[in-house]
């Protein structure tokens, strides 16, 4: 394919992760070094930065600060949750995007995000083709939820999994220190897919993990849950539980949203989330000392505990997106294909944007135990290679030294 010369825009979207900037850096660095790419822009707050004509000039950034993006959590360019319209219904945004692309001679567009971002990518790509404007568009995946279709796993998942497993090991030690009884319930993110909660099982692999794990892939039964906890508590005096925020009853209603006596059985007002609610229910039922812990934002931004494997793969994903686009490929997402038969090998693989968007990948049923209160070795074999290696995040005064970007806005 003939060389396409022009500028590139890189945008980030959706919820942050510890390594979304490692992907962005993979794309930015590679684009900056590429002769076909004349200028590299970062869109301020994702697609909104394009619509608002607010683009940061990446060429102006200090090379060392850019490199620190590999270890800096959250979206350095800013994120958005803006859902772009269907172009057949309303093409206002698309016309504006085309206008901006023309203004800056943008011929490469890289979008770094989850399901919705791949959908945005896909729609823009289709529109540009229809408009006859040559622009190569690639999706760079990101989501701690690990729920993107096709790819073996998603950049961001492994670092969150590593933080969760590490935290479970530490909480295990804390919760087992007294000779008195204690039930601890830890809530992990994952509204529809239980990948992050399942990661707690890695702590068991390392010898200090939860007794029970509940994922949204199985219907939750409060009576069964209370029986499980009571049985273990009565036998050992302790019980450590991992629950996904997305656990739901058979009728589909979220346990966290159960507000009435009829649904949650106790009629507690809900303030502190699922862990606090379950802790209260277990306390009333068993009389045990119970503590609810919500890992909250910490699990998606704990860059100090990121997986080096995740950082390097995220970088590779961004780098590959640029390389493939320059080679002439468009309309793809750079995911991963992994081989675990003899060690662990991860290679970039291109997926059709149309097949990725708007589909959520769940934890396979065969990786959940028969009782629905734990995960199997299959999951551990899958996830363990992903959490290997430690971040090289530099420290200053004992604290993280994250990237400081100048963010010079293009006129």
Question: Which residues in the 288-327 window bind a copy of itself by CB under 8 A?
Answer: 291-298, 300-305, 307, 309
Write phi, then psi, for 183 (nearest 5 degrees): -110, 130
The Cα 93–Cα 81 span in angstroms is 15
From the CB of 156, what's the least distance to a copy of itself, in Å? 12
| Residues 162-221 interacting with a copy of itself (rule: CB under 8 A) | 162, 165-167, 169-171, 173-180, 184, 202-203, 205-208
Pairing of strands 238-244, 136-141: unpaired
Tell me 18's DSSP state. Answer: S
Closest CB to a copy of itself among residues 304, 349: 304
Selecting among 93, 116, 119, 145, the annotated active-site residue is 145
Q: Which of 11, 42, 73, 141 binds a copy of itself (CB under 8 A)?
A: 73
Q: Which of 7, 22, 27, 80 binds a copy of itself (CB under 8 A)?
A: 80
Closest CB to a copy of itself among residues 170, 339: 170
Closest CB to a copy of itself among residues 299, 373: 299
Chain centroid to CA 168: 19
Q: Write out the DSSP string of 286-324.
A: H---EEEEE-TTHHHH-GGG-BHHHHHHHHHHHHHHHHH
From the CB of 269, what's the least distance to a copy of itself, in Å? 4
The Cα 46–Cα 344 span in angstroms is 33
From the CB of 381, what's the least distance to a copy of itself, in Å? 12
**Angle 122-128-134 from CA coordinates, rounded to 5°:** 115
The Cα 56–Cα 404 span in angstroms is 13
| Residues 14-33 interacting with a copy of itself (rule: CB under 8 A) | 16
Three-state SS at 165: helix
Closest CB to a copy of itself among residues 208, 409: 208
145 noted as active-site residue: yes
The Cα 97–Cα 108 span in angstroms is 13
Closest CB to a copy of itself among residues 247, 278: 278
Are residues 137 and 10 in contact, defined by beta-carbon separation less than 8 angstroms?
no
- Sketch the per residue contact string, 107 through 146, with a copy of itself: x for CB under 8 A, - otherwise: ----------------------------------------
Q: How many residues bind a copy of itself (CB under 8 A)?
A: 73
Q: Which of 74, 256, 317, 373 binds a copy of itself (CB under 8 A)?
A: 74
Q: Write out the DSSP string of 82-112.
A: PPPPPTTT--HHHHHHHHHHHHTTEEEEEEE
From the CB of 291, what's the least distance to a copy of itself, in Å? 7
Structure tokens at 237: 């005096």
| Residues 337-376 interacting with a copy of itself (rule: CB under 8 A) | none
| Residues 263-292 interacting with a copy of itself (rule: CB under 8 A) | 268-273, 276-277, 280, 291-292
- Sketch the per residue contact string, 32 through 71, with a copy of itself: x for CB under 8 A, - otherwise: ------------xx--x-----------------------
From the CB of 4, what's the least distance to a copy of itself, in Å? 31
Closest CB to a copy of itself among residues 89, 399: 399
The Cα 291–Cα 175 span in angstroms is 9
Sequence-separated (6 or more) residues with CB below 8 Å from residue 59: 32, 39, 40
Residue 338: CB atoms within 10 A of its CB come to 16
Closest CB to a copy of itself among residues 395, 411: 395
Q: Where are the beta strands (DSSP E) in 179-258?
A: 182-188, 212-214, 238-244
Position 402 contacts a copy of itself (CB under 8 A): yes
The Cα 307–Cα 151 span in angstroms is 18
Cite the active site residues: 145
């Amino acid at each position: 394919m003939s060389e396409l010369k022009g500028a590139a825009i890189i945008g980030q979207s959706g919820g942050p992760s510890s390594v979304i900037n490692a992907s962005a850096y993979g794309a930015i660095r590679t684009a900056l070094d590429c002769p076909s790419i004349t200028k590299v822009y970062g869109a301020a707050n994702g697609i909104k930065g394009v619509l608002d004509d607010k683009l940061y000039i990446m060429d102006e950034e200090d090379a060392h600060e850019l490199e620190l993006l590999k270890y800096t959590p959250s979206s350095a360019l800013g994120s958005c949750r803006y859902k772009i319209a269907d172009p057949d219904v309303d093409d206002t945004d698309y016309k504006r995007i085309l206008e901006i692309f023309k203004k800056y001679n943008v011929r490469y567009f890289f979008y770094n995000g989850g399901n919705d971002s791949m959908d945005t990518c896909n729609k823009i790509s289709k529109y540009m083709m229809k408009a006859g404007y040559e622009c190569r568009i690639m999706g760079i995946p990101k989501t701690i939820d690990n729920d993107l279709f096709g790819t073996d796993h998603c950049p961001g998942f492994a670092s969150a999994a590593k933080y969760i497993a590490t935290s479970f090991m530490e909480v295990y030690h804390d919760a087992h220190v007294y000779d008195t009884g204690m039930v601890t319930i830890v809530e992990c993110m994952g509204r529809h897919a239980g990948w992050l909660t399942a990661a707690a099982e890695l702590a068991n692999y390392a010898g200090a993990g939860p007794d029970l794990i509940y994922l949204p892939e199985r219907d939750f039964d409060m009576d069964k849950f209370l029986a499980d906890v009571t049985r273990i508590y009565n036998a050992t005096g302790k019980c450590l539980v991992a629950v996904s925020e997305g656990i739901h009853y058979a009728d589909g209603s979220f346990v966290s949203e159960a507000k009435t006596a009829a649904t949650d059985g106790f009629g507690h007002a809900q303030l502190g989330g699922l862990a606090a609610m379950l802790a209260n229910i277990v306390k009333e039922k068993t009389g045990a000392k119970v503590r609810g812990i919500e890992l909250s934002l910490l699990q998606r931004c704990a860059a100090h505990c990121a997986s080096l494997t995740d950082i390097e793969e995220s970088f590779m994903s961004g780098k590959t997106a640029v390389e493939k686009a320059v080679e002439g490929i468009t309309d793809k997402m750079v995911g991963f294909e992994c081989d675990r038969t003899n060690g662990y090998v991860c290679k970039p693989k291109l997926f059709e944007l149309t097949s990725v968007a708007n589909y959520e990948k769940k934890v396979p049923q065969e990786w959940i135990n028969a009782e629905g209160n734990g995960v199997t070795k299959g999951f551990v074999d899958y996830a363990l290679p992903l959490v290997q290696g430690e971040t090289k995040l530099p420290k200053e005064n004992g604290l993280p030294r994250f990237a400081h970007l100048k963010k010079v806005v293009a006129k």
